[in-house]
Amino acid sequence: MIRVKSWKDFKRIIEKSQPNSIIYSIEQGVPSKNLTCLRIIIPIEGIQYTFIDMAKGDRLRETKIKLHRDKIGNLYIRDEDVKELLKRELNIKDSKISAYWTI
C-alpha cells in the first residue's frame, strides 16, 4: 500500500491508471464523535494507493468537500458528496465507485 499525500498527486495516479474501481470510506475524525475523515483507495494490480483527507473548518482540507451537521451538532460527510466529487474531478468513465462497507 502506498499513501499519497496530496489530492493533486492522487488525481494524477487515477487519471494515468484508469482503475476499474475506486473505494472510499468515511471515518471518524477528531473529536471522535464526528465522521469527518475521508479515505479513498484505488486498487491496481499488485498495489493499492490510498489518500486520506481530514477536516479543516467546515470542509475537508484537500478535496474541499463540505461537512454537514446532524440534529445534535455532529459533523459528517455525505456519501453523495463523495461520489459527485469523484465523478466530477477524476474523469473516470467506467470505474465503479463503492463505499468500503458495500464491497
At 49-95, the pLDDT tens digits run: 999 999 988 999 999 999 999 999 888 999 999 999 998 888 776 77
pLDDT at 103 over 50: no
pTM: 0.87
Q: How confident is the model at residue 42 (pLDDT cuts 50, 70, 90)?
A: very high
pLDDT higher for 91 or 43?
43
Give the per-residue pLDDT at 37.
92
What's the whole-number average pLDDT of the chain? Answer: 88
Structural domain range at position 76: 2-102
* pLDDT, mean of residues 4-31: 89
Quote the pLDDT of residue 18: 85
Q: Would you say 43 and 50 are in contact if contact means Cβ atoms under 8 Å apart?
A: no
Backbone angles phi, psi at 77, to 5 degrees: -110, 135
Pairing label, strands 75-76, 21-27: unpaired
Position with higher pLDDT, 102 vs 88: 88
Looking at the structure of the chain, the number of domains it has is 1
